[in-house]
Amino acid sequence: MRLAIGIYPGFTALDAVGPYEVLSRLPDTETVFVAEERGEVRSDTGALALTADATFDEIDAADILVMPGGPGARRQLEPLGPTVRWIQKIHPTTTWTTSVCTGSLVLGAAGLLEGLEATTHWGAAEALPAFGARYTGTRVVRQGKIVTSAGVSSGIDMALTLAGWIAGDGYAQAIQLLTEYDPQPPYDAGSVEKAGPEIVRSVAHLLGRTTAADDAA
């Protein structure tokens, strides 16, 4: 089984690495990070780079496609751009086509979300309808073989859910135990509702932008 994770400059690292850490542990899985060019691909902070071991041209099929999000996603939305064309090539070959965070906008730009429910980073919710998708606040959204998940860390929950569908509950639970995924966040501020308006405003400040949506989208 091939797991292909698409990356591009300005992706958010945890969007890609969360699902990677879970799904690469599935039986007989070959994992490959894919980008327009081979080699180093810098994430949104500029301080982290992942290696792409294959180009979009070299990878023609995958069983699982994972598309991470990040501030750089907005530069991947061109209808004839390399990332969109790669998704359009790969999607017909997949068993599962998935996204994390604003990776769903890239799936949308490829025409995959027309008429479907989907999710994305909370700060980019209003960007989904442009692609014919209805935003849901659910953390993991399945529509047929397309699975979108919410912001950044949600990819871990998405991947564990997918692991259960693919390899069974017991196997997915073994991966959960292997990665000791027994979350105990010190705060309960992981959603807009839980965090409240003051923290929401401070995220915009933290990003140094007018709204978090500007960056997330």
Binding residue (CB under 8 A) for a copy of itself from 28, 47, 92, 144 = 47
Q: How many CB atoms lie within 10 A of CB 78?
A: 11
Minimum distance from residue 134 beta carbon to a copy of itself (Å): 19
**28 lines the binding site for a copy of itself (CB under 8 A):** no
Give min distance, CB of 80 to a copy of itself, in A.
Answer: 30
Q: How far is CA 8 from the centre of its chain?
A: 12
Q: Are 135 and 148 in contact (CB under 8 A)?
A: no
In the chain, where do the E strands start and end?
2-6, 30-35, 39-42, 49-52, 54-55, 64-67, 96-100, 117-118, 134-135, 140-143, 146-149
Assess whether 101 carries a catalytic annotation: yes
Question: Which residue is it, tokens 């994992």?
Answer: 31
Q: In angstroms, what is the minimal distance from the CB of 108 to a copy of itself?
A: 18
Q: Which residues bind a copy of itself (CB under 8 A)?
A: 12-14, 17-18, 20-21, 24-25, 30-33, 40, 45, 47-51, 53, 101, 121-122, 139-140, 150-154, 156-157, 160-161, 164, 169-187, 189-192, 194-195, 198-200, 202-203, 205-207, 212
Catalytic residue positions, numbered: 101
